[in-house]
Amino acid sequence: MSEQSSTSLKILIIDDHEAVIGGTMDAIAGAYNDAELQLAKNAQEAQEKLHSFNYSLVITDLSIPEVPRERPKPEIGINLLRTMMNNYPCLNIVVQSADARALIRLRPNIYEHEGGFTVVDKGESLQKMLTKVDWCLNGVNCTPNEMRTGLELKEEWLTLLELAFNESLKDKEIAKRMSIAERTVRHYWTKIQDVLEVYPEDNKNMRIQTESRAREVGLID
């Protein structure tokens, strides 16, 4: 379970499929039994609730209706995600979808987003979904492989790798050298680790895994 206390969690689930809603809400309630769960079944209701509450996490389907009784469409979910990332840059977001290819349209937004951002295939088990919820609450980014294909690391990400692994600097020292906030350094780490496909594993240090992977692919000597 996330390091964040479940008593402080406010979670919004956005979906209009009753079977999925029931399974997701039951799983989340079981894992975070003191969390406050709320539901929105369309984009309009979701935006109203986002405006009224300070959520720790949003779990959203990609294909949702704009208003009640309308047909769900991926572009409505894409527009809602873009709005959420623009208005709530530190919000943790989990996307549930049977086909997440449309997220490629949001790649620039996702790579600028400072909150956790993970994607769950609806065919995955509830346990896998809970794992990605936990990762998200801890600031991890985990996006589909097709979104990362051909993506070059930004210059500032490469500078961070050089300072961390070739000059052995800590985040505070890196922030000072790069003239950025420590929060921005942590943000860069999440993006680098997603590109390198380095995700949390039991008894494995993510920084060590990141260094090994970065050297393996030639990002640092």
What residues does each domain of the chain span? 6-148, 155-216
Cα separation, 95 vs 74, in Å, equals 12
Tokens 């039951």 sit on residue: 26
pLDDT, averaged in runs of 10, over the chain (221 residues): 61 88 88 92 96 94 93 93 96 91 86 93 90 95 78 83 95 96 94 92 93 88 75
The 8 Å CB, 24+ separation contacts for 205-209 are 207/164
In whole angstroms, give the CA distance from residue 76 to residue 114: 22
Provide the whole-model pTM: 0.83
Structure-token match 């997603």, residue found? 194
Residue 154 pLDDT: 83
CA distances to 63, 109, 149, 151 from 98, in Å: 9, 21, 20, 23
Helix (H), strand (E) at residue 213: helix 206-216
How would you class 62 by CB atoms within 10 Å of its CB: exposed for 0-12, middle for 13-18, buried for 19 or more? Answer: buried
Packing angle between helix 126-137 and helix 18-31, nearest 10 degrees? Answer: 60
Task: Give me 161's structure tokens.
Answer: 């790798």
Q: Which of 221, 92, 108, 121 is nearest to 161 (CA)?
A: 221
Report d(CA 186, CA 150) in Å as an integer: 23
Spatial separation of the C-alpha atoms in residues 135 and 93, rounded to whole Å: 10
Q: Would you state the pLDDT for residue 151?
A: 59
Q: What topology is assigned to 6-148 in CATH?
A: Rossmann fold (3.40.50)
Q: Which CATH class is domain 155-216?
A: mainly alpha
User: 69 CB contacts (<8 Å, ≥6 apart)?
Assistant: none
* The residue to which tokens 């290819």 are assigned: 101
